[in-house]
Amino acid sequence: MSGIETVKIIVEAEKGAAKILEDAQTKASEIRKWLDSKIEAERESLLRSAKNEASTILEQAESEAKVEAQEFEKNSQSAKRQVITRASTQKGAAVEKLVTIIMRSEQ
């Protein structure tokens, strides 16, 4: 093998090595690009899911709070009616008491 042939073979080998490294860099670059899109996809998926869950929590809270408030109002109305009914039956007694206070205020 002549010297020129040897140099040619080595030059070819160097070209091959450079190609291998270039391919590796390209692959690494693709992996990084994939990462960006993967993170974006993960982000969209996780946040969408969280927002959906949050929305469900709020809808449920609105609905439960409405029911709870209606229940409370119903019970309170019933308790209030009792107080007002009892008070209405005591009106006469209250009037008598006040009349007595006024009339006795000058004794």
Partner 1 sequence: MSETSKFTEDILTVAKEKGQTIVAEAENETQKALQEAKTRLSREAEEIILNAKAEAEGIRRRQMSEVRHKVKLQEQLEKDQILTDVLEQTKKRIADISDDESKYFPYLVSSIANAIRELGLEEVLVQLNAKDLKRVDKTKLEREVGKKLDKRVKVEWSKNPLEASGGAIVSSTDGKTRIVSTLDQKFEALESKLLIEAGRTLFGNNA
Q: Which residues bind partner 1 (CB under 8 A)?
A: 1, 6, 9-10, 12-14, 16-18, 20-21, 23-25, 27-29, 31-32, 34-35, 38-39, 42-43, 46-47, 49-51, 53-55, 57-58, 60-62, 64-66, 68-69, 72-73, 76-77, 80, 83-84, 86-88, 90-91, 93-99, 101-103, 105-107
User: How many other C-beta atoms are found inside a 10 Å radius of the C-beta of residue 50?
Assistant: 10
Closest CB 90 distance from partner 1, rounded Å:
5
Closest CB 29 distance from partner 1, rounded Å:
8
**If residue 43 lies in a helix (H) or strand (E), which one and from where to where?**
helix 3-89
What are the structure tokens assigned to 64, written together? 């439960």
Residue with tokens 């009037």: 95
Residue with tokens 């929590």: 57
Instruction: Compute the distance between CA of residue 42 and CA of residue 34 in angstroms, rounded to an integer.
Output: 12
